[in-house]
Chain A
């Protein structure tokens, strides 16, 4: 494929897919190790009512109100989960399940009751995102990457997810030691003076920001898959946290690239005419990578691994 075709049509969706996948996979490593993997699932579901409420309040589909609405909904969900867990004395997984299904359902109802036909906001979009539509029409070829006029026409999702990824990476880099310590041994971390409660909340908020930014671009299917699949697959490749995070980034990128290419061209190769959803294919690839890692990964069977589950 030539640059004049690839750059405007495929470069930006591919980049946004990769950056979204990595932004979710990075905090996902800690969530999976903390047995909080479902938080990613919860956040990506509660984002829907948040966005709908933001739309109802402002009447426009604009990035900032939507992001704020989604982030607000994520915080409400986290507080609700904690409250239900403590007051109801039930396990965290069940509390999350109750909260995110209820809030997602409320979001669907709200969406049905409001007139959003004129804007691009619907359940399908929420689930699959709209990766293929994030094209860069101002580009004419590779030269456009250094052309300020063409760069001004970049889809706004690209810089947004880039900033998000920078923020997520910065948080994990800065708090690497306390995050690792409090994930492994929370009691010990507290005796060192680490505020594990605040740190845990910060991690969830960072995950929520990543989820919201990625959700906007690629839908909740990728978000859910990327929080869990690359970190879980990475755990079977290595026995160090540094290694796991590294592998999870590799797997996230691999899922995004393979998924995007296969979604666009796979059906053609098979003789069909239409491309399939890139988001769906990226999530499928991450599942496939997890399956392969579970079958062939060097650290898949470990003596210390929990027997149950």
Chain B
């Protein structure tokens, strides 16, 4: 009887993994002695927008990078739409942190967006007019069409972030993973980005965002994943984004101003 229940439980869990655009099991990542992410399970819901929330150094970006195979986990499994990550790379688009690259690199805006077509073009595939047209269209969707021939170093922070988003759009993926896309951008860019992300959701795509601004979580997202090295809570914003869970994730690290702000947001 117990065995049957256990088997049943296993089956249900596997079903959840099968449906999930991104399912992580027992993921542990360490850069040195101390783990940055410890034994984390995460099951992203399809067709929704999920925020990964947690204090600085809680392992938010590391979780994303490990899920993408950018950093090597010590242990754990990652499945993308129920299959191993390596088989599903074409279905994933990724927007790294803006500060992670050198914006003095000698390249133009359009070239960065075209990088999103690498899997299609391959090593020597010919770059055709339709590829360029697609890249320009992606730039138009983030309001950067007129900047196509600019050197990327000439852009503002918000414009750089939009170019990164355009590159992800060019990937035409089913799962979009964004690392702090709203960090240090102007209000107009934040609005533009969230509009694009919501349009992706409307089109049935799944969006996961490492997010730092607690005040906008309820406005922007359907689901929330709270992390502080370990998983704290996961679920729909209404049920999961509670003062108790936040207290558990942030501990004493929430500034008074943030607590006040949250009290207003959460009522």
Contacts and interface: CB of A to CB of B under 8 A. Distances in A.
A192 B177 CA distance: 13
B106 interface: yes
A163 B117 CA distance: 33
Q: Which 6 A-B pairs have the closest CB atoms?
A: A304-B153, A239-B151, A304-B103, A191-B94, A304-B104, A193-B89
A191 B100 contact: no
B interface, how many residues as a size bin?
20 to 34
A295 interface: no
Contacts of B89: 191-193
Contact of A302 (B86, B118, B122, B153): B153
Contacts of A243: 106
B92 A191 contact: yes
Contact of A178 (B107, B108, B123, B167): B123
B105 A240 contact: no
A59 B81 CA distance: 61
A305 B123 contact: no
A304 B65 CA distance: 26
Interface of B: 65, 68-70, 86, 89, 92, 94, 96, 100-108, 111-112, 115, 118-119, 121-124, 151-155, 167
Contacts of B86: 193
Contacts of A239: 106-108, 151, 153
B123 A244 contact: no
Contacts of A244: 106
Contacts of B153: 239, 302-305
Residue among B100, B101, B108, B118 with the highest chain A CB neighbour number at 10 A? B118
A141 interface: no
Interface string A281-309: 00000000000000000010011111000
B233 to A, nearest CB: 27
Contacts of B111: 240-241
Nearest to A304: B153
Interface of A: 33, 174-175, 177-178, 180-181, 183-185, 187-188, 190-194, 235, 238-241, 243-244, 299, 302-306
A304 B70 contact: no
Contacts of B92: 191
A193 B87 CA distance: 10
Nearest to B119: A192
A197 to B, nearest CB: 10
Nearest to B97: A187
Contacts of B124: 174
A81 to B, nearest CB: 20
A185 B112 CA distance: 10
B107 A185 contact: no
A302 B119 contact: no
13 contacts: A174-B123, A177-B118, A184-B102, A191-B70, A193-B86, A239-B106, A239-B107, A243-B106, A299-B151, A304-B103, A304-B152, A304-B155, A306-B102
Contact of A184 (B94, B101, B155): B101
Contacts, number: 88
A181 B65 contact: no
Nearest to A35: B102
B162 to A, nearest CB: 15
A175 B108 CA distance: 20
Residue among A184, A191, A194 with the highest chain B CB neighbour number at 10 A? A191
A240 B167 CA distance: 18
Contacts of A181: 115, 118
Contacts of A299: 151
Contacts of B108: 239-240
Contacts of A190: 68-70
Residue among A187, A194, A235 with the highest chain B CB neighbour number at 10 A? A187
Contacts of B155: 304
Nearest to B114: A177
Given A184-B102, A185-B115, A191-B94, 7 more contacts: A177-B122, A177-B123, A235-B106, A239-B151, A240-B106, A240-B108, A303-B153
B262 to A, nearest CB: 31
Given A177-B121, A240-B106, A241-B107, A187 B151 contact: no
A33 B101 CA distance: 11
A184 B163 CA distance: 14
B250 to A, nearest CB: 27
A170 to B, nearest CB: 12
B94 A241 contact: no
B135 to A, nearest CB: 14
Given A187-B100, A193-B89, A175 B123 contact: yes
B111 to A, nearest CB: 7
B242 to A, nearest CB: 33
A302 B100 contact: no
A151 B89 CA distance: 53
A238 B112 CA distance: 16
Nearest to B127: A177
